[in-house]
Chains A and B, each alone.
Chain A
Amino acid sequence: MFRRKKALKTEDTHIKQLADIVGPKEVLFHKEDLISYESDGFTIHSHMPKAVVFPKNTEEVAAVVKYCADHDLPFLARGAGTGLSGGAIPLNGEVIISLVKMKRLLHVDLENRQAVVEPGYVNLKLTHSISDKGYYYAPDPSSQYCCTIGGNVAENAGGAHCLKYGVTTNHILGLEVVTPAGDIIEIGREGIADVPGYDLLGLITGSEGTLGIVTKITVRILKNPEEKQTVLAYFDRVEDGSRAVSDIVSRGIVPAALEMMDKIAIEGVEAAAFPVGHPKDIEALLLIEVDGISAGIEEQIDDILDVCKKRNVRSVKVAQDEKERAKWWANRKTGFGAMGAISPDYLVQDGVIPRSTLPQVLQKINEVSQETGLRIANIFHAGDGNLHPLILFDARVPGETEKALEAGSKCLQACADAGGSITGEHGVGIEKREEMRFVFTDQEIQAQTDVREVFNPHYLLNAGKLFPSSGRCAEIKAEQKKAASE
């Protein structure tokens, strides 16, 4: 039964000091309480944190950071822990600074189309709280039901509707950040689209929690489109589906979303909690949405139907009402989790490729699946060439985890070979540190770790993420050199 927590029972002075800052109820340090924080949405690695603290405001965040910095305690920020590359895993036994208690919507300014939120505010809540006034927040990662806007900023999250509207970085107007030394700084100015000087907003956004802890965010909000139409198309050949994607874009249509699922993915979503009733024997489906002012929507839909027909679509339909549309999207957006219904574990990869190379890269992924003997499902943002191969495996079978990692790495290699990149939106974290070498030379990596050093000189904040280990070795050497010369 739920016991009222008694006074802090610990001899650890760090824990006591942290409790003095945030209050005794807001510190976790028992093994049983910490174990849930040993990983995030990426479960292949796990490590126990030293403690988890729940600050309620920026000042408390700054005080915790200062304490950690002064006492050489590694620390990192965590939002909802839905990250898929292990960014919030405490590899070095960090003090986790959880931002979920800072979850207020601070201010909505419809006139200037912006809102100010705390970092723990959940993505979808923003749209929910302004939708009655006709506005919404565009970046819509599939995890938007629970991921935090702070986490979105750190990962520069994208989503189905980012094809037309851009990813998180295109919607951030200002940030309040606690630096790794514990200072509070403001970047960007409310209501002003651009400020002179270096684009620090752009640098912090997508830095995966390695440059500072975001404590306040000013975001752009958009007016709801006048009209929206959604199309579902079934194909007998993956190739036809992927060609249709290129054709739609080359006709000059910019759909709000253009998503694809292959046969194994369809098997998963149909076996899970939000089935639509997709036929079991099709090879690929496309989910296409167009929005904007009413004039012209009909023509775009006709164009899309025409492209699908030319590419041998088996059947294609337009959503009849909001209910049908919502059903299609729920099925798509819960797609990753749905893999749990057909496989005990999955590893989701996240590569980006030029749209035109889609058929050949999918073919390559298919070969990887055959080589490794692991099934690979594909659910992805086809419109912007952002692939998500989901490698299905069973961690209980000895050797399968390694095989899955290998398959994942090969998929990324295929993306890099096709002229693409190794992450579209899920970040590098722990997962893709090594694969950074597919796209960057040692010097390029060094240049980036040099930037990190300006912000995070003692390397206590979220160490061991984002860059490969030798990049780190080089940097440690540099540090030693510096120390020697001082």
Chain B
Amino acid sequence: MSVKENVVQEPPCTNQSLSNYLWKEKPDENKWADCVHCGMCLESCPTYEVTGQEQHSPRGRVHLIKSVAEGKLEVNEQFMDPVFACLDCKACTTACPADVDVGGLIEEARGQVRQALPLTGWRKMVSSFFLKGIFPHPSRIQTAGQLLKVYQKSGVQSVVRKTGVLHVLPDHLKTMESVMPKIKQPVRKKYKHEEVIKAKDKTKQEVAFLTGCVMDVMFSDINEATVNVLTRNGNDVAIPKQQTCCGALHVHAGDRDMGRKLAKQNIEAFEHADTVITNAAGCGCMLAEYPELFREEDTEWRERAEDFAKKVVDVSKYLHDTGYEKPEAKLNTTLTYHDACHLAHGQGVRQEPRDVLLDIPGVKMVPMANADRCCGSAGIYNITNPDMAGDVLESKIENVPEEAEMISMGNPGCMLQMAMGVEKHGRNQQIVHTVQLLDWAYQKEDQERGRK
């Protein structure tokens, strides 16, 4: 068979009318048209590293998504598997020379899957309980947080651990329970009577702060540290009351309608801010991607989303770009830095947090191999895909240098996952957020001044 004969027999064309995407917001043809099937993304992908299988690689996923549009495959369970096993880590976006938006395609494909195969049974219950019932409602998260707090304080936690009631939990949830942070008072509650939290000295500018939904309850001390660090460096900090969950978990799960609802609420809540600060890489990345949600919507919201997206900035980059006071106190420690996917690949923030950390006297940084490789946290991925998440985590922990005493990063989801990894693999590093370290250094400086 000559080359030409073969081509005539199977014209490699995409034919819209054959498409098996039957619902609105179809995966965008222009996104896969950019893919030239070169494979340069393969090694960047954690799920390909673990499985070695093409359909679990970025190139394979793009090809699958395209094949459904060409009518070669249907949206079914077998298609769903690779599409939902993607970690949304965006490492492929960094690696791809043609700038293919693999993540965007996958989210659109998930939207189709969710409409084709609505969740049933316990999955539906769990999903709607958390994604619809809890995350969008700060007060309910606080209540859940309260319960957790009582659970931890009351001693029930230790009783439960000792008596082994936990044995009924699957292994990965057991480990997660044991590393849950101690619940303190959420920042939004603490500052609820203040319109803006004033800068410590002279005001340079005003910024608005997205506290995050789970973040503010589970990791309130990181939010506290963020507010401290910002106000210390001449920023008035506003915490708009109307703000809500960023919607990342919903969009990753294929629920784009809920994602849009939350996006609109946040866009309105931050309408008057010039700068929107985030300290959770996952949230920051989602906010910056709001325009994607309105691709097929009316232009008004698309434009508002675009304006909003431009205002979003991660706290480490903001400090780095606008200037900050270098702490004077020494924090003698050896640390290593983990690039959260949604900071490094999602927002291109790599050097800034490292520079901030290195400005703290006494901090010694040891590099981590593959620092920008996903830890497997990826939102609620570690709950829904425990096996894959566990494998990805294991290879991450192997790269943590022995001599590091702390691992610093800019995303609470990663912090929980890394804490689990450290615990599970018998390591002893302390997990910290970049702004926390800076805040500690400031506090130490103040104490030392006070003593003098």
CB-contact partner of B33 in A45, A147, A274, A344, under 8 A: A344
Of A170-178, A187-195, A334-342, the one with at least 4 CB within 8 A of chain B: A334-342
> Chain B's nearest CB lies how many Å from the CB of A433?
7
Say if the beta carbon of A280 comes within 8 Å of chain B. Answer: no
Q: How many residues of B contact A (CB 8 A)?
A: 56
For the complex, give the distance between the alpha carbons of A339 and B3 in Å. Answer: 23
Residue picked from B1, B84, B94, B384, most chain A C-beta under 10 Å: B1
Which chain B residues lie closer than 8 Å to A36 at the CB level?
Answer: 53-55, 57, 59-60, 63-64
What mask results when residues 142 to 166 of chain A are scored 1 for a CB within 8 Å of chain B, else 0?
Answer: 0101110000000000000000000
Contacts A1-B123, A2-B385, A143-B40 given; indicate if A398 touches B13 (C-beta within 8 A).
yes
For residue A27, give the distance in angstroms from its CB to the closest CB of chain B.
11
B298 within 8 A of A: no
Chain A minimum-CB-distance residue to B47:
A2
Given A35-B72, A272-B98, A274-B97, A44–B7 Cβ distance below 8 Å?
Answer: yes
Contacts of A122 in B (CB 8 A): 43
Contact assessment for B4 and A405 in the assembled complex, using a CB-CB cutoff below 8 Å: yes
The reply to whether B43 and A145 form a contact with Cβ atoms under 8 Å apart is yes
A80 is an interface residue with CB less than 8 A from chain B: yes
In B1-47, which residues have CB < 8 Å from any A CB? 1-4, 6-8, 10-14, 33-43
Asked if residues A101 and B52 are in contact (CB atoms below 8 Å), the reply is: yes
**By DSSP majority rule, is chain A's interface helix, strand, loop, or mixed?**
loop
Answer whether residue B96 sits at the interface, using C-beta atoms and an 8 A cutoff.
Answer: yes
* In the complex with contacts A80-B39, A336-B38, A395-B12, A32-B73 CB distance below 8 A: yes
Structural contact, B97 and A338, CB atoms closer than 8 A? yes
B123 touches A41 (CB 8 A): no
Most chain A beta carbons < 10 A, residue from B14, B39, B385 = B39
B53's contact among A28, A82, A274, A395, by CB below 8 Å, is which?
A28
Of the candidates B33, B37, B81, B95, the one whose C-beta lies within 8 Å of that of A41 is: B37
Cβ-defined contact, B34 with A341, below 8 A: yes
| Residue contact B7 to A405, C-beta cutoff 8 Å | yes
User: Does B154 reach chain A (CB closer than 8 Å)?
Assistant: no
Nearest CB of chain A from residue B344's CB, rounded to whole Å = 14
Which of B79, B85, B97 is the most central at the interface, judged by chain A CB atoms within 10 Å of its CB?
A: B97
Q: Which of A253-271 contact B (CB under 8 A)?
A: none
Q: Chain B: which residue is nearest A272 at the CB level?
A: B97
Question: Please, how many angstroms separate the alpha-carbon atoms of A346 and B36 in the complex?
Answer: 7
| Residues A146 and B43 in contact in the complex (CB < 8 Å), given A33-B55, A433-B3 | yes
A contact residues, range: 35 or more
Contacts of A208-264 to chain B: CB distance below 8 A: none
Cβ of B387 under 8 Å from chain A: yes
Minimum CB–CB distance from B247 to chain A (whole Å) comes to 19
Of residues 74 to 107 in B, which have CB atoms within 8 Å of A's CB atoms?
A: 76-82, 84-85, 94-100
A273 shortest CB reach to chain B, Å: 5
Of all chain A residues, the one with the shortest Cβ separation from B389 is A2
- In A71-126, the 8 Å CB interface with B consists of 80-82, 98, 100-101, 103, 120, 122
**Chain B residues with Cβ under 8 A from A402's Cβ?**
4, 7-8
Rounded to whole Å, the gap between the CB of A132 and the closest CB of chain B is: 11
Q: List 20 A-B contacts (CB under 8 A).
A: A3-B81, A4-B387, A31-B73, A31-B78, A32-B55, A36-B55, A36-B59, A36-B60, A36-B64, A44-B3, A46-B12, A122-B43, A147-B39, A273-B94, A274-B97, A344-B34, A398-B11, A401-B7, A401-B12, A402-B4
Binding site for A on B (CB under 8 A): 1-4, 6-8, 10-14, 33-43, 52-55, 57, 59-60, 63-64, 67, 72-73, 76-82, 84-85, 94-100, 123, 384-385, 387-388
Chain A residues close to B by CB (< 8 Å): 1-4, 28, 30-33, 35-37, 39-41, 43-46, 52, 54, 80-82, 98, 100-101, 103, 120, 122, 143, 145-147, 272-274, 334-341, 344-346, 395-396, 398, 401-402, 405, 430-431, 433-434, 464, 469
